[in-house]
Each structure stands twice: as structure tokens, then as C-alpha cells.
Chain A
């Protein structure tokens, strides 16, 4: 089942989304640098569980317009209200994966009345020191080289940061989303490192599930985040990488749908 796609007007131009299923609304926010295509394997299983799933392309990713100036997480969070309004939803459940978890945290912090439930899948609740270290890493556009090595090198880089990977097809599909973002593909990570997530995360008031997988690159960060908010529900899947949605679509979707639909 291929989700249908569409556009809605937002504060930085058009916002692109994918939509599948009918029922309880669930908004999905992707990791960076990717797009709502990263949930490709989950649209059908989530829809089969009675959810109306809407994957939102973060501004500057997928087909969503890139903001005129480099955005922060709070800017990314501004993409959600227009999507809710488009479907006449006063509120919805929200799931964010990695940078997406930062996006939905910023939104839930500012608009708790519009977030019925929140799922933080590998929330990047970094310390100030971790953020500073990551922010200092080189970032920026990568010009093409005549031997195509810019592509091979970047692909190898993604393989290297996907320890324990099993799905080269998912690696490729997700890497294509990185390329699709063009010269500003690095904005998403930069925004995540700039964002003081901890203070907003600690103050969240909506029912929240922390979802992780034991070999995800943010597993330890996520466990630490749970220790800050032991009142939040917690589910960990076994194994997996940041391509967990491709690796375990049924298990992942079952965990997500259970939390969204349980009273």
C-alpha cells in the first residue's frame, strides 16, 4: 500500500505529507536527513490497526519547501498545526523519530491541547556538552566530484553510522531521501544540536511513550532520558538500528498502535 500524498500551506511555503488509513489520527515526524518516506514500511501495518497515519516532511526535506534561513527545531514544529488544520483535527497522536522526536517535543510543549498522545522514538535529549561536540562537527553542502566519490563516500558514511545494519535496501532508500534534500540536507541535524530539548522534554504534560530499540545509536541517550521522566511509558524493541521501521515494521507498528489506541 503506497500512501497518498499532498500539500498544505505552512509558514515556510508548502508542507508535503503522506497519508494512509482511516481512524485515530497519528502524525509521524522523521529523523534527519530523511523524509516521511522513512515510514514506508509502517503505513500499511499502522493503517491496518485502525489509524489514520500522516507522515509530514519536515521543512527542507522530502517535498516540503526549505525555509529561507536555517531553521531551528521550534521552526520545524510550526509545520504541524497547518497539517492538523488541513484535516480538521483539533488534536492527534504524534510520533517523532530522532530529530522528529525533537520536533514533536517542541510542538507538544507549546501546544499540549493539540497532542493527545506522544511517542518519542529515540529522543535526542543530549546534554549541553554533547550538543556542543556534535554542533562542532563539519556540516554543509557536499559538491559533486567527477568520479562520483562524493556519493560513495557519503553512502559509506551512512553505513558506518548504522552499526549492526541488516537491510542494505533500507540503507539505500533512506540515503536517497538524504540526497533528495539537496544542499541543505544538514539543516536537520544542526537544528537538533542547537535545540535545548532537555528543558522542554522535562516539562512535557501529555501522555508519552518512550520507544527505543536496544542497538539504536540513541539507545543510551534514550534510556537516560527515560530516567529523567520515569513516569513516561517505556517500550524497547530488541536489536535494530535507526532503520528500525524498515527492519521491524510489524513489531514497531504494533507497539505504536497499542499506545495510541489504548485508553
Chain B
């Protein structure tokens, strides 16, 4: 079989055909010879039997009357039967009665079988024994012996014929299959040759020629089709490469030009089609996105919100009493007013938000990726603030207000249509409530507030029942291998509902006024805990406490902080207050004033989750910030996400250039740690070192790291 494997396909085919023809011929020949031999034997034995019957019939009288001469005469005709070697007639007692023997043969006659006829085939002769019956009695037997030389000769002749047929058919098969196998092997050979040629020359324009209509034809056609595909792709790649090269060159040229005459070039480059596309998606009067573009963005952002499980809000705006202005002062004034309002709306939202004009005095604001319903409300109120200043139009001082209805994904609808409808409904509710209002949508105006009410009740109980706890997460100086501070994190473990995120309950606490007592409790608890640690000997650890927007907005914050520090006996230099961008931006001017006073007390201010909010760098520079914390949402993707890495690097560069300290939040693994170490960041915080733990645990961690040998656990 090994030898067979090494044969070429063509030789395999030949071998197969030869083997098949040989085997089938051989089987046919053997069957034929066997059948013929059986038939011949039957004929011979039948002949012999007939002969014996004649002898038996003719010799009955001779036997009965004991006439051996007569009996011998009945055998006389055998003389002319050349193949009969011997014959005998026996009488009833089994004695030989008469015989006939061919000349030259020495014969010993066997005992007869008087009971039945039987035939014995030997190699060279056949023996037949036939009892002779007369009137129901056995009176003797006939014995005949015939040579079967003729049969054997016939067999020998057949064998010779078979041999000749086998050999000639073998030769014929070899000859035929040699030619026929080309039918199969030639196309394969062509395929193989072309495939090798393509491999060596990389010339994909070569094709295999084949007119076969069978599977091989299909194979060739498919092979050629594959080559077509490859060639097309090769050409496309080549074209693409040229195009890319050209584009790079073109871009380089364009950039050079653009640097000189960017604005004019841009305008020239803007094609009619682009302008048309712009018009299709923008409102002609205000230049704001129109309903079409808004719907596009809503569906895009909804998809994103579904994937990322974030919130999304729609703010439906309808200007109050606009019709009055339009009717009394004319359309021109109305249009100018709409343009001014549009600009103001655009300026008081984030870049990623969309403000669209739906027509008339209706606007829609899309707020993607907000952290909760409260964000939407804040922005709604901010919009109301943006419109407070009167608008001067054609010599008129116009005071304009708007009513805003809010719907939030996923609470108020899971699709664009529902969200739009619900925002619209809640806008009307705002009108009903007296205009210049922001109203959330709720099923019965509204179920959301019922939930909020329940949460409020729970939160009040939580404060009373001490369900609120502070946990502490260490900040580690990776250069000095020591804990330099902790961040106090508020936790609410509800007996029934389990852990509730601060993101969820802090806005509610702000809305219902519970934020003041909670905030104070947090500050007192955190600082008094720090006091305990100081007493235990850890006197160079800072304590960071988060501030909410209403805490920051309420006058007298510095007094509360001062009181808490004094009660715990803490140096203000050991205290840090963390604010988020959004908190700071709520009322930037008062925030700057309050934070500046706190800073003057010696307290350090940290900007939490920097880069995620609305703030611009300009505002940031005005805030009296000491520390920037890189938000864990950027850290998470590092180092695999290039985008996150770039943002982190940009924040680090900015902080360094503004001479701010840096804290990296949310370090979860050694790769992230290595990245930030390389970027020159010293202070890190995250699960890699410790999750937020309660005060007792925190003290244990401090104890375990006070001995120099244990510090390396951080690495």
C-alpha cells in the first residue's frame, strides 16, 4: 500500500482499472470453467448411466439364464466406445458375470453395490454402478468405468483460453487506461503547473485552460474564478495603495495650503452636495440641526446607551408667549429672536449634546451619556438661566422664557418615538404649571417622583438608623511605597435593597435637603476617624471628602469644614475636598469664591473625574485646584485603548503644565500601574492596592504597612 501511495494519480488510475478488469475477468472465467466442468460431468455421467441402463436391460435374460456368453455380447458394443475403459456385469450374488476391458488395461473389478446406483468421479476416470432389477428383484449390477481424458483436455483448453484472454485484456486495459487516465490527470497537471507558476511568479493573470464539462471542469472553473477574485483584489489593493499614496501626497499639499488659507480653502472645498446635505439636516433660519438630523442622533445615541447601559435625556423646549411677539412685532423680529435663542442654547450645552429646532418656537435638546435623571434637570434649569438676560432685537428689549419637558432613557421610554412623545407631554405639563419650568415626564406626572419619594423616605430612615457608612480607599505613593492618604466614600447599605450607589441617592438627598445633614455627618465622621489614626501615630495621612453641588452652593460651607476639622483636631493641610467638574460648573462663580476661601484655609482642592464633564480648560484654570484625579473610566482601557491612553497622557501633560498634583483612580492591574509610573504619576488609588474598606480595616492596613518590610506588598 505504501508503494501505491507513492504512485502518481495517473498510475493509480491505471492500476485500479487493470485490477478491476483482471479481477472481474478472473471471476467470470472461474465461474465459467466451474459451470462448464459441472455440466460436462453431468453429461458424461448421464451418458454413462444411459449406457448402463441399456446394458442392464439387454443382459437381464442372460443373467437369469446364466448365459455369460450372451452377457458378454451385450457388452460387445463397448468396443467402439473408446472412452470406456472397463465394464462388468454382476449376478445377484455380486459375482462378476461378464466383463469387458479395453486392450492393455489390467483391471480389478470392485465389489458391486446392488442396492443403489452411484457414480464416482476420479481424477482421470469416472465409475458408475447400476443395479439390474427385474420384476422388482435385483438380479445383478452393471459396472462401467470411463476415462474423462476428454473433460480434462477440455479444461486444459479453457485454461489456455482464459490465460490468453486475461493477458490480452490486461494489455488492452493498460493501453486503454493509459490513454483514458489522461482525461483526468491532464487537467490536474495543468492546474498544478499553473498553481506552481503563480506561486513563483506572483502573476495572477494566468489561467488554466480546460474544456472539461465534469467536476474537473468545475474545479478548473472555480480555480480560475478564485484567480479572478485574487487578481481583482490584487488590483484593488494596488489601486488602493496608489490611491493612498496619492492621498497622502495630496493631504500633505492640502495641509500646507490649509495652514495659509484655511478658512477660504475650506469654503471653496465645500461642494454643493455638502451644502445640500447640510441644508437637509439643518434648519435654514437658525443653522441648528433639524428634526431629521436629531432623529439620526437620537437613534445613534440610543444604541450607544443600550450597549453601555447609560442614560440619555430628551429636553423638549417651547418658548413661552412667542406667538405674541411674532404677531405684535412681526416675523423679522421673531426670526431674529429665534436666532439669538438658538445661539444661547448652543452655548450652554456640552459639545456632544444636540440642540435641534423642530419648527416654529419648538426646540429639542438631546443629552447623551448623562449619569442620571438629575443631570437632565440641572441642564434644564441651566437652559432657563441662559435665557434670563433680555434679548435686544430691532430696538426692543425682549424677555423670553421657555417651558421644558424631560424624558429620560430608559425610565421614560426605550425608543425615540416614546421618548419624544413623553418629553412633549411633560413640556405641556410645564406650561400648565405656569411656564418657565422644567418638568420630568412621569406616567401619572409622575411615577419617577413616587420612586423618588420612596427613596427620600428610605434615605431619611437611613440617616436615622445609621445605615450610611464611610469606607476608605488608600492612595499610595508608588515611589515611596507608602500610603499618603485616603478617600472617604459614602456607602448606603439598605436592609432590603442592599447596596445603593451614591450616584443614585446623592441627587435625591440634594433635592430633598438631606444633603446638608449627610454632608456634615460625612465630614465629621471622616475627620474624627483621621484624628483617631493620628493618635495611633499615622500623622501624615490626608483625608479626602467629596462635595456635592448643593453643599458647594450653600453659603457657609467653609464654616462647616472648619468646625469639623477643629472638632477632630485636624490640621487643614491634611484635608482635601473633592469636587466633580459638574459640581463646579453648576455655579462657577460662587464655586470659585467658596473654593478659594477653603484653599486659603490651607485645605487642598481636588478635581474628581476630570475630563468627563462639560467643563472647558478655560474654566478649569480659573478654579483654585491643587490636584487632578484621572477618572477611572480612562484608566480602565489602559494600556490597550490608544484613545484612553492619549486622553490620560493629555490630562497628565496638562496637570503638569499647570503645576497640579495628580492622582490616578481605578488602578486594577500591574499593566495600568506600569503605564502611569512611566508617565510620571506618583499617587495612585484602586483595587490593585485595596478596595474601599471600613475604618477598622483601614487601620489594620495602616498597621501592616507601617513596618518597612511589608511595604513591597504594593508592587
Answer whether A and B are interacting partners.
no
